[in-house]
């Protein structure tokens, strides 16, 4: 890929998905089994329907969403059904071979290895908590939720940030699919990754006005095996 092609693709991607709310809407629609209406999206993201339609129109114009002919996720009763939307097959990846993020990750791992295990875990959790609080602000997560609501909001925000995760309020847990950091064991520091996860969730739960006591993160592939207990 040439530099001009990279700049063009990156500019297009940033214009369509650079806004945190718009990115969250796209990821939510993409992960939904059924098409979603603008009204449902507005409800999920606590935004005005006109704002939701603005984001949807932009995503449709850029080719990331399309009007669907399948039933919406929540039928709205009698009358003509509202338009619903689903994700297209547009690739959202941008590759630039000269960037060595894998090398950066390896060097950062070497930095972690210079710290005592307890100190590395503490720093990872602290960094994760700070990021969780920043992410909450970017995605419009506010306080005032009870535990089940907070759990659902945290799952929504984390989905918008690229995590594949769902809420199970009955079990007081978040169930994770893939991790955006890759396979933790691959870099030999799964414990650090768990503390980073824990910090992110704690920061988000705090922003939602609920504690993370007894909250558990489990993997969809290994149900029953928890990442952490707060």
Residue 95 in any domain: the answer is: no
What per-residue confidence (pLDDT) applies to 146? 84
pLDDT (tens digit, 9 = 90+) per residue, 104-154? Answer: 667 777 787 788 888 888 888 899 899 888 888 887 788 888 888 888 888
Which residue range is the domain that position 10 belongs to? 3-87
**What backbone phi and psi angles, to 5 degrees, belong to 131?**
-65, -40
In a domain, 19, yes or no: yes
Are 72 and 50 found together in one domain? Answer: yes
Which of 5 and 201 is assigned the larger pLDDT?
201
**Angle at CA of residue 185, ends 163 and 93, nearest 5°:** 40
Same domain (yes/no): 81, 122:
no
Give the pLDDT mean for 4-17. Answer: 57
Q: What pTM, to 2 d.p., does this model score?
A: 0.51
Please compute the mean of the pLDDT values over residues 21-28 and round it to a whole number: 87
Q: Are residues 113 and 45 in the same domain?
A: no
Whether residue 43 is predicted with pLDDT greater than 50 in this model: the reply is yes
Measure the CA–CA gap between 201 and 230, rounded to whole angstroms. 10
Residue 117 belongs to some domain of the structure: yes
Give dist(CA 219, CA 143) in Å, integer.
27
Do 213 and 143 lie in one domain? The reply is: yes
Q: For residues 161 and 57, what is the distance between their CA atoms, to the nearest angstrom?
A: 21
Number of domains in the chain: 2
CATH of the domain at 57: 1.10.10.10
Q: Do residue 61 and residue 128 come from a single domain? A: no
- pLDDT at residue 53 in the model: 92
**Two tokens, residue 159:** 């989905």
Domain closes at, from 65, 87, 109: 87
Residue 208 has pLDDT above 90, yes or no: no
């Amino acid at each position: 890929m040439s530099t001009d092609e990279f700049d063009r693709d990156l500019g297009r991607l940033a214009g369509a998905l650079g806004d945190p709310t718009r990115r969250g809407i796209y990821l939510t629609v993409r992960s939904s089994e059924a098409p979603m209406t603008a009204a449902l999206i507005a409800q999920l993201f606590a935004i005005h329907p006109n704002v939701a339609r603005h984001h949807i129109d932009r995503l449709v114009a850029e080719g990331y969403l399309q009007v669907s002919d399948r039933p919406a996720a929540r039928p709205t009763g009698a009358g003509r059904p509202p338009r619903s939307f689903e994700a297209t097959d547009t690739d959202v990846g941008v590759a630039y071979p000269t960037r060595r993020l894998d090398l950066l990750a390896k060097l950062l791992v070497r930095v972690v290895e210079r710290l005592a295990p307890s100190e590395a875990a503490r720093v990872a959790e602290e960094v994760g908590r700070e990021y969780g609080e920043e992410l909450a602000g970017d995605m419009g997560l506010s306080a005032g939720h009870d535990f089940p609501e907070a759990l659902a909001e945290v799952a929504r925000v984390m989905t918008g940030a690229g995590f594949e995760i769902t809420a199970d309020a009955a079990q007081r847990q978040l169930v994770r699919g893939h991790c955006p950091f890759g396979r933790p064991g691959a870099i030999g520091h799964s414990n650090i990754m768990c503390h980073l996860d824990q910090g992110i969730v704690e920061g988000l739960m705090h922003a939602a006005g609920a504690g993370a006591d007894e909250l558990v993160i489990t993997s969809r592939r290994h149900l029953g095996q928890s990442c952490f207990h707060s």
